[in-house]
Amino acid sequence: MYQPTKNGFSTPYVELDRQAWAALRAATPLSLTEAELEELRGRADPTSLDDVRDIYLPLSRLLNLYVKATRQRHGAVRDFLGEDDRPVPFIVGVAGSVAVGKSTTARLLRTLLAQWPDHPHVELVSTDNFLYPNAVLTERGIMNRKGFPESYDRRALVRFVSEMKAGAPKLDIPVYSHLAYDIVPGAVQTVRRPDILIVEGINVLQPPSAGRLAVADFFDFSIYVDARVEHIRSWYLERFLELRRTAFSDPRSYFHSMATSVDEEEARAFAMNTWRTINEVNLVENIVPTRGRATLVLYKGEGHRVRRVRLRKT
Ligand SMILES: Nc1ncnc2c1ncn2[C@@H]1O[C@H](COP(=O)(O)OP(=O)(O)O)[C@@H](O)[C@H]1O
Ligand SMILES: CC(C)(COP(=O)(O)O)[C@@H](O)C(=O)NCCC(=O)O
């Protein structure tokens, strides 16, 4: 992490504890109900209405200010070029480990941001839609690297985000199914030009390779959801065991045998091995090193509770 220097002009970041951050909600109203929150949060994710109030409403307020300021900047460039008014989606990236709760954060933001009359149309895209199909990963010998940068069609992902930013009215993208653990052949998600596009995925803050562009180059704001490895490991395990009791019992689930043919101890050992050999390696090698690039970091402790927030001011 960036260390402040001793000359007083210490750091472009500000770090706030939960209470100080919560106060920045100002007058932003809480209009989400417990039932709506239940729909939005992920499996085994205890995010509460207190968290919405303390963490996500201030964030929604900050993003609303960012959107307005960014529109002004676009207007200035248009005036300079003598161009007509043209809608440009504001793009938010949400990064962090597998099982850290990115999708809950992203879904909550989609709902809260859409409540502002300034930007009612918010679209959410998960980067898993840009994973190569299992057949391609197997052919390339990287089926055990799912989630690593090379397991994504990064060119297609960058093309999608850059075309959205350029104002494309509607784009179709592939669809990934966690149930099938694969890309669904022939399925598409249609993304219509939104006011705000949220792009959520473990690798969205990856820097570009030399001479290329990365998705993060198109972000107007980015969020990194952070927690200690030991916490994330236990959230991954808990979720796997919860999925074993629920989603995996569907015969179409890729992990069906985990629900029917092995006992809980074996399932736990399988999940632990997947965590240790794939997700933790990816976290340490590829994901944590991108944290410094985020505009905002949410630091979670025990039970997914956000304890601190770091914001890059400039
Ligand atoms: N094997 C699985 N079967 C069904 N759903 C899953 C499976 N793995 C993950 N999910 C769901 O997919 C979503 C994304 O998970 P993940 O990429 O680990 O990110 P995060 O936990 O940070 O949101 C979560 O809502 C999770 O509950
Ligand atoms: C699909 C994922 C790579 C997450 O992708 P993302 O939406 O972050 O791009 C991840 O959920 C996953 O399946 N990892 C592979 C190892 C595992 O089964 O946990």
Pairwise pLDDT comparison (168 vs 4), residue with the higher score = 168
Instruction: Looking at the CA of 240, name the nearest ligand.
Output: 1
pLDDT tops 90 at residue 257: yes
Instruction: State the ipTM, two decimals.
Output: 0.94
Going by the annotation, the residues of the binding site for ATP are: 96-103
**CA 207/CA 71 separation, integer angstroms:** 25
From 218, 231, 223, select the one nearest 300 (Cα to Cα).
231
**CA 172/CA 190 separation, integer angstroms:** 4
Per-residue pLDDT reduced to its tens digit, 276-312: 999 999 999 999 999 999 999 999 999 999 999 999 9
Check residue 4 and give its pLDDT. Answer: 56
Per-residue pLDDT reduced to its tens digit, 202-237: 999 999 989 999 999 999 999 999 999 999 999 999
CATH entry 3.40.50.300 includes domain 13-312: yes
Protein residue with its CA nearest to atom 7 in ligand 1: 178
Residue 106 CA: nearest ligand 1 atom is 23
Residue 279 CA: nearest ligand 2 atom is 16
Check residue 44 and give its pLDDT. Answer: 82
Going by the annotation, the residues of the binding site are: 96-103
Pairwise pLDDT comparison (265 vs 7), residue with the higher score = 265
The ranges assigned to domains in the chain are 13-312
Pocket of ligand 2 (CB under 6 A): 98, 126-128, 146-147, 201-202, 274, 278-279
**Beta carbon of 101 within 6 Å of any ligand 1 atom:** yes
- Place 85 in a pLDDT band, splitting at 50, 70 and 90: confident
Instruction: Looking at the CA of 143, name the nearest ligand.
Output: 2
**Beta carbon of 78 within 6 Å of any ligand 1 atom:** no
Measured in whole angstroms, the distance separating CA 265 from the mean position of its chain's CA atoms is: 31
Protein residue with its CA nearest to atom 12 in ligand 1: 178
Residue from 98, 236, 241 to probe ligand 2 pocket by mutation (most atoms less than 8 Å from CB): 98
Phi and psi at residue 94, in whole multiples of 5°?
-125, 115
Protein residue with its CA nearest to atom 8 in ligand 1: 178
Average pLDDT, the chain: 94
Per-residue pLDDT reduced to its tens digit, 37-83: 999 998 888 999 999 999 999 999 999 999 999 999 999 999 999 99
- The token pair at 54 is 């303390």
- Three-state DSSP class for residue 122: strand
Whether the model pTM is above 0.80: yes
Mean pLDDT value of segment 134-153:
97
Residue 128 CA: nearest ligand 1 atom is 17
What's the 74 CA to ligand 1 centre distance in angstroms?
36
